[in-house]
Amino acid sequence: MSESSSPGSERRLLWLLAAVQFSHLMDFMIVMPLGPDFMRLFGISAAQFGVLVSAYTLASAVMGLLGVLWLDRFDRKRTLLALYAGFIAATLMCGAAQSHTALLVARTLAGACAGLMGAVVMAIIGDLVPPERRGRAIGTVMTSMGLSAVVGVPLGLGLASLWGWRMPFWAIGALASTVWLCLWKVLPAINRHLSAPREQGPDGTLTSLWTPSLALGWLLTFSVVVSSFLLIPYLSPYMVGNLGLSSAHLPWVYLGGGAATLLCTRWIGRMTDRHGPVRILGSLLIGTMVPHLLFTHLPPSPFPVVALVFALFMSLTSSRVIPTIALIASRVPPSVRGRYLAVNMAASDGASGIAAWMSGLMISTAPGGALEGFGQAGWIAVGVSAFSLCILWTFGRSAVRLSAAPT
């Protein structure tokens, strides 16, 4: 299969990349619903749990910044295989961890590999899929987020309830190993970017990445993710401690939220291609303000009400990544796309880690287990979304391109 593959080959490749994303998103997401268990078993506070979540994303952010030095210098297949192997090893280390510190170290190593994996996956899409189908392609790959919630998280929680919290990590490691073998066998060499014209001078490509127009793209990604991760890491403790749900209800809540996300991402991808990423992202930024405020101020409610609001929250919030990536990926040529997206992934992961840490400082746990300060975090999330709209307006109006190279 070549880089100019048929539509059928393109679809198979996209679903294989979605499997990569599924494994590392499940690895990231499974920690959050296990939050009440970790806080109880390891005797850690909400702030310490926030650090556990942040370690994954902040390590990913640091590696993304380092990736700007080398990520476009190798065949993307070899790069993805090497990073994925490191991720698998780190995930198995999570399952073998004997203490909170050991788990923290393993999560850091897993995050260091996962962020660059995501950048390479999106660079592959940018290289192989033309702009008029890119939104749908990203939507297809991002169905992995919905699948990880529909299938992965409930299954992981079920495994944890039967055989302990270590089992989900062992299962993810086994699944990822299978996907790695499929990548090695099926993924074609992707090296067209190596022959693309480059700017003169040893630092030309690095310098070209830091234009004001492109830096706005990173700032846009940063602000969009901050508004999400001020809330997402603490949804499970909030539902258990404040809304009256039991831990047994959580798999069903995540199942409903994941199903809604799965349906929404494909539709958002098509709408992005039809109406443009600027219009769709703007609509989603406005649309998420309602569930962000509604969920963070919801009183103790029956299970169906909580599940419905959670599904609305997750489907709209998770879908914002599709038009965001489609918009910024169209701004760079193949020769620097991997490195630009690595920095963009660093912005995303850094934002999620910083936001989780900030929320941990604002949120405290009452003696009965309820979270205090979560409503305040909801208001701040809405304010950050409004700020994102201002950045989007500026970035969307900019006609500056890095070069005239085809995207």
How many domains would you assign to the chain? 1
Report the C-alpha dihedral over residues 313, 315, 318, 321, rounded to 10 degrees. Answer: -130
pLDDT single digits (tens) 113-140? 887 887 788 778 877 777 677 777 777 7
Beta-bridge partner residues of 365? 371
With respect to residue 56, please indicate whether it lies within any of the assigned structural domains.
yes
With respect to residue 167, please indicate whether it lies within any of the assigned structural domains.
yes
What pLDDT score does 199 carry?
Answer: 43
With respect to residue 197, please indicate whether it lies within any of the assigned structural domains.
no
Q: How many CA atoms lie within 13 A of 311 on its CB side?
A: 19
What pLDDT score does 351 carry?
Answer: 82
Mean pLDDT score, 301-321: 88
298 torsion bin: left (phi>0), alpha (psi -120 to 50), beta (else): beta
pLDDT single digits (tens) 256-287? 887 888 788 778 888 888 888 888 999 999 98
With respect to residue 194, please indicate whether it lies within any of the assigned structural domains.
no
What pLDDT score does 5 carry?
Answer: 52
With respect to residue 149, please indicate whether it lies within any of the assigned structural domains.
yes
With respect to residue 405, please indicate whether it lies within any of the assigned structural domains.
no
Write out the residue range of the structural domain in which residue 294 sits. Answer: 9-189+208-397
Question: Which carries the bigger pLDDT value, residue 183 or residue 157?
Answer: 183
Regarding pTM above 0.85, the answer is no
What pLDDT score does 385 carry?
Answer: 92
CATH assignment of the domain containing 59: 1.20.1250.20
Beta-bridge partner residues of 371? 365
H or E, element range at 90: helix 76-96
Q: Whole-number mean pLDDT of the chain?
A: 78
Mean pLDDT score, 320-343: 76
pLDDT single digits (tens) 65-96? 777 666 667 778 888 899 999 999 999 988 88
What pLDDT score does 248 carry?
Answer: 77
Contact in structure between 396 and 327 (CB atoms under 8 Å): yes
| Highest mean pLDDT (candidates 48-62, 303-317, 358-372) | 303-317
H or E, element range at 384: helix 374-397
With respect to residue 140, please indicate whether it lies within any of the assigned structural domains.
yes
What pLDDT score does 13 carry?
Answer: 81
| Highest mean pLDDT (candidates 10-14, 285-289, 328-332, 343-347) | 285-289
Confidence of residue 202 (pLDDT cuts 50, 70, 90): very low
